[in-house]
Amino acid sequence: MVKMMITTFFAKKVKMTGKYTPEGNYVGATVLDVPQIFVKDVRTKEKHGYQAVRLEVKSQKVKGKSNVREVRTEETYEPGTEIKFDEIVKVGDKIKVTAISKGKGFAGVVKRHHFKGGPRTHGQSNRERAPGSSGSTTTPGRVLRGTRRAGHMGNSRVSTGGLKILEVNPQNRTLTVTGAVPGAGRNKAGLVTITKQS
């Protein structure tokens, strides 16, 4: 059996709180719940063209339910091997978290792109949160593709790096990290991908 070399695992966001760092600073923190993770099967270069492992993430609420996620790695693992998060990260390690952000529905340009809006005086009753003119002039004489507009906001894949591990609790299977983690908390939370940074 090879030494555990996977640097990626998965968790569920529970809540935000505040914690003291070892330096004595009080910072915002996020508590993550880490489910049991097992190696389901492997992908090899000879058979599949690339090296990876498929991980089975057990559901902590619905018995028998699980999610399967694939992680690229050059190491090989036997199916059934448990991935223990406390062997991957320690207190003080830096991590990158990736998750689906909260969906905010249809949003205007002021909320979505931080437009300033129109004047708030001289009878401008319906222009305060309007986008105003954002097209081009005579050349090219059209609105360019990709211009910022009102539209669907949130519900997209977001990564946040440089977060530090504050607490590792293998007994309760919880992890506390500095800062905010994308996505909703509690029962609405999806899986958060956690990758250890060097």
Q: What pLDDT, on the 0 to 100 scale, is given for residue 141? A: 83
Specify the pTM: 0.83
Kindly report the average pLDDT of the chain as a whole number. Answer: 89
pLDDT bin (cut points 50, 70, 90) of residue 4 is very low
Domain ranges of the chain: 8-104+152-197
Kindly write down the DSSP assignment for every residue of the chain, as one continuous string. Answer: -PPP---EEEEEEEEEEEEE-TTS-EEEEEEEE---EEEEEEE-HHHHSS-EEEEEEE-SSSTT-EEEEEEE-SS---TT-B--GGGT--TT-EEEEEEEPPEEEEE-HHHHH----S-SSTT-SS-TT-----S-BTTB-SPPTT---SEEEE-SEEEEEEEEEEEEETTTTEEEEES--SS--GGG--EEEEEEE-
Which pLDDT tens digit goes with each residue over 35-94? 999 999 999 999 999 999 999 998 877 777 888 999 998 888 889 999 999 999 999 999
Domain 8-104+152-197 CATH (choose: 1.10.1740.10, 2.150.10.10, 2.40.30.10, 3.80.10.10): 2.40.30.10
Assess whether pLDDT exceeds 60 at residue 108: yes
Q: What pLDDT, on the 0 to 100 scale, is given for residue 112? A: 95
